Amino acid sequence: MENQSTPSSEPGTDLDNFFNLSFDTAGLDTLRQLSLWAKIISICAFIGYVFALAAALFGHSKSLDEGSSSVTFSRTSNLLGTFLTVIIGGAINYFLYRFAVGIDRGVKSMDALKVNEGFNSLRIYFKILGIILIIVLAILVLAILIGLAGLAGR
Amino acid sequence: MENQSQRPLPNAPGGAGFLEMHLDYDGGQTLQETVRWSKFLAIVGIIGLGIYLLAVLVGSSFIAALVQQMYGLEGVGVLGLVIAFVVIILAILIFVVIMLYRFSTLTRRGIDTQDQATFNRGLRSLKTYFLINGIIAILYLLLTILSAVAAFI
């Protein structure tokens, strides 16, 4: 009766061995460096966003005609563009930072679960980038089609 | 039941994997999906950057002829420097995207064939990808700070 469960259905044996790969000494060193550079990228991005926001909010306009509607429009569109960049970029880099922290903690405590969480954040990071790329490509294709339709209509 | 409790944990002291962490089922699945998205990004990136590089190389001869007519040979020299700079930047970006592609293919192959060496090579490619991106991020941050300071002056 005790041996009723087959080895394949027994939790913690075959499922764990499904991937016989491991993070050996070289792999752990690579993970450490990966985490460091990912952290540098995300922190640089966050600092850059702060500076970009500050410049957009409090920066001086180069134009002499401050009150004109074209300057106001340009300033507003610049501000909106910066906000959009900060929100999307912030979300993307948040997951990159989580990846870096997860991997770092996992490697330090030799905890595979934390490393898994880190890789899950990397998956979300690449997924968001992929979705943004798909949206950009769709807009590009749409613009080309509209342009071609406009040329054909002449 | 007894065997289950006696089985050494991969990360437990004295276990076979004391100095190494095993990639479990969940981790493998997560990595496989990561690899799928990174491959998509890499392929689109290589195609996009390749088209951009081709456009720069083809368009440069046309622009060079135009500049020569307007500014003479001096203008062509300056234009050549600008085009060389753009081509170098594009080449670096293409290298970065190739590293991402290498990560996706080698990691996938490593998981499929359960080959530790291939898997490690894939991770190293991801490290190179992040390393170059990190250097670019530092340079970009310096430029952002400079432009922000210029906006306040």
> pLDDT, tens digit, for every residue of A34-55?
999 999 999 999 999 998 888 8
The residue type at A65: D
Nearest CA in chain B to A140: B48
The residue of chain B with its CA nearest to that of A109 is B11
- The band of A118, judged by pLDDT with boundaries at 50, 70 and 90, is very high
Question: From the candidates B30, B125, B133, B147, which should be mutated to test the interface with A, based on the most A CB atoms within 10 A?
Answer: B30
Q: Reduced to 3 states, what is the DSSP secondary structure of residue B9?
A: coil
Give the number of other Cβ atoms within 10 Å of residue A131's Cβ. Answer: 11
A115 touches chain B (CB under 8 A): yes
pTM: 0.80
pLDDT at A60: 67
Residue tagged 């991969």 (tokens): B10
pLDDT of res. B2:
41
| Band (A4; pLDDT cuts 50, 70, 90) | very low
Least confident piece of the model among A24-28, A109-113, A118-122, B73-77: B73-77
Contact B145/A60, CB-based, under 8 Å? no
Q: Which pLDDT value is given to residue B15?
A: 41
Which chain A residues are within 8 Å of B37, Cβ to Cβ? 123, 126-127, 129-130
Residue A128 and residue A35: Cα distance in Å, rounded? Answer: 19
Query: Tell me, what's the pLDDT at B14?
Result: 38
- Determine contact: A149 vs chain B, CB below 8 A: no
Q: Which residues of chain A does B120 touch, with a Cβ-Cβ cutoff of 8 Å?
A: 24, 26-27, 30
Strand-pairing partners, residue A22, are: B22
Six-digit token string for B142:
């310096």
More confident residue, B108 or A69: B108
Flag whether residue A29 sits within 8 Å of chain B, measured between CB atoms. no
Question: Of B141, B11, B41, B109, nearest to A40 (Cα)?
Answer: B141
Question: Which tokens go with B79?
Answer: 């234009």
Q: Does the interface predicted TM-score (ipTM) exceed 0.95? A: no
Those residues of chain B that have pLDDT short of 70 are 1-20
